[in-house]
Structure 1
Amino acid sequence: MLYIINGHIMTMNKENYNCGTIVIDNEKIVKIGENISISPKEEDIVIDATNLWVMPGLIDAHCHIGITEEKKGIEGDDCNEESTPITPYLRAIDAINPLDPAFHNALQSGITSVMTGPGSANIVGGQSAYIKTHGRNIDDMIVKAPAAMKISFGENTKNLYRSKDKAPNTRMAIASMLREEICRAMNYKNKKEKAIESGENFEEEFKLEPWLPVLEGKIPLKAHVHRCDDIQTAIRIAKEFNLNMTLDHCTEGHIIADEITKSGFDVIVGPDLASRNKLECKNADFKTSGVLAKKGVRVAIATDHPVSLIQYLPICAGLAAKKGLGIEEGLKAITINPAIICGVDNRVGSLECGKDADIAIFTGNPMEVFTDSVYTIVDGVVAYKAE
């Protein structure tokens, strides 16, 4: 058993506690509240959180941790398969290295889980995975895999394949090739369903099977979009095929906030703590999250690690809070909102009985630069403790 006592508990649910207790057993939260009596045994761990903030473990909803490794150069960069523009069959779990030093940086900052996956070189990059940040075996760290299908619009894909003298060279080609791939996947799904219904033999196609969770609404498209026109094209295609989608980066989202609100899609904003090194990022601003949130859009904040380093996730949320998002929405943007957006809020994102015991303990508000992380707990295990 693990007990956290006397803490200022921010549940990110409905009720907070000024001097609360959390009881953890078998990786789960079993009790939370005030005036909870405890009788710890000798082997139990008791953490006195007096004058400390106790929160759900922080979440980065869009990064490439473990895939684009730090300090490894090309040998540790498995983020993009640049040989062909349509690769839905690639799986993030086959590239994630849990020994990437960035995992330790994440734990030091109170980040307990992330969505990580392929980059944006391809129109269809492959399958992202939602994982915990503590562990040595990726199979034990998985919360949900596949968790999303990466698709990309704009400069990255255009520039890469123009240099190879092959399609796509234009935004029109990106959109048409994506539509063609989705149509192919839908036809495959229909044929498979008819074969199963009639009892006929059906030979599965490895390269099309990964589309089935997307077409069945089990996982979303994860759309790399910066410019207004790319955001609107992504929305148009998702609506055409009735698919779920998240709008990732959404750099110019504040310019077309009404259109995004009308779409009903969730947004993952970032990285704003980075240089505007591409034309499509020229309007990047920390105000984007606040503008969208005030329109009723569910917003998460992400680092796109290593574009912005993962340990600066709470600082990015603080800067967004300063530019209009506000403190409460800023904290939600790195806890419960990304959990809902990534489809894992049944396990993480808030402190509730029955949820995973992923907990971060800070000296104060984690969005403030002088705040220190004191403990990071993942699945009920102390994964980081400040010296």
Structure 2
Amino acid sequence: MSRLNLFSPDVRANPYPFYAELRRNSPVCQVDPNGMWVVARYDDIVSAFKNTQVFSSAGLRIITEPPYLERHNPLSDSLVLADPPRHSRMRNIMGRAFTAATVSSLERHMRATASGLTDEMLERRAIEFITEFACPAQTRALAQLIGLDASLEKHFIRWTADIFSLSAIPPDDHARIHEVRQTIDEMERYMQDLVASRRHRMEDDLVSDLLRCRVDDSALTDNELIACLLLLLVAGLETTSTLMTQMVLILAQRPEWMDRLRAEPALIPRFIEEVLRFEPPLHATMRLTLTETELGGVRLPTQAMVALLVGSGLRDETRFHDPDRFDPERRTQSSLPFGHGAHFCVGALMARTQARIVLEELLHRCHRIELRAERLDWSVGLNTRCPLALPIEVIPS
């Protein structure tokens, strides 16, 4: 029997039937590419998230620094690629600076941005939602949060696309490799200059807050600070724009929910949670085993690269009733779309807030959203799953 290839066109177009087959017959097994291990069931995924002593994030620099890159990637120093105790120290500092009050202070800016983008969309009626709404909305929010130069919006979007393409670049594609190296140079120089500027003159932004922040007399090093800022930028842009895109795609496919949510706005948070379950922005995350271990009745060797298939876990029949049905009224919800335990995403509240504000604006201003494509092409990376483009037409209220 041939191994499942996670990058095959059929799997990328609709992975969920393949995930269901894995959960039934091979919940922990090897797949292509390269014989990586996958974990498909909810409980096993949660177990791996919790067991940071065996399932390491720090061992996965090969994801951010593939051999062909031949240089250090500052993102490798971020907390998402750290294990306790270093992760715990960095997470505590980030948590002191990036609070619920911080996110709340961004809401007015997010609302104004969403309103302005909706004005532009309604004027044109037909747009490509990802590049013309989702990415600009989240980039502008992150620029406001971090203290970035908002005029560099297109650069930030390009940086994010390049970083998330790292694992999919063939080692013989020298032109693309050169482009990505240049992107990493640009990102690093920009953040180094930003941190140096804030050390000279503090401002009302997250960079300044993180420079001030101490926990048990410990502060982030400059390398850690730059890595965390880049992580917030690229991961925050990719995952939240994906959440908004999946939300709009679902509304286009299920127009009855626009009427329902307008009539019952109290359902909006549960609608967003069901989008997060049904089409999670974090589709898979990687770990490296530090020792031989057993998971789901299967022995995993030392130094095994393991993909925790969050998108499969959130369709697990043992956890969710009728999991392939989109149902915002279901009672069972999960935090798994944003990770679990020590690695629960620090930006989860910001992503949910952005999605809520955008959804409220769309419901208030748009009668219908219609998909203008017979088929969608999907991203090839494992970490996130999103259409490459989402052409829509909006019908005003």
**TM (normalized to structure 1)?**
0.24
Higher strand share: 1
Higher helix share: 2
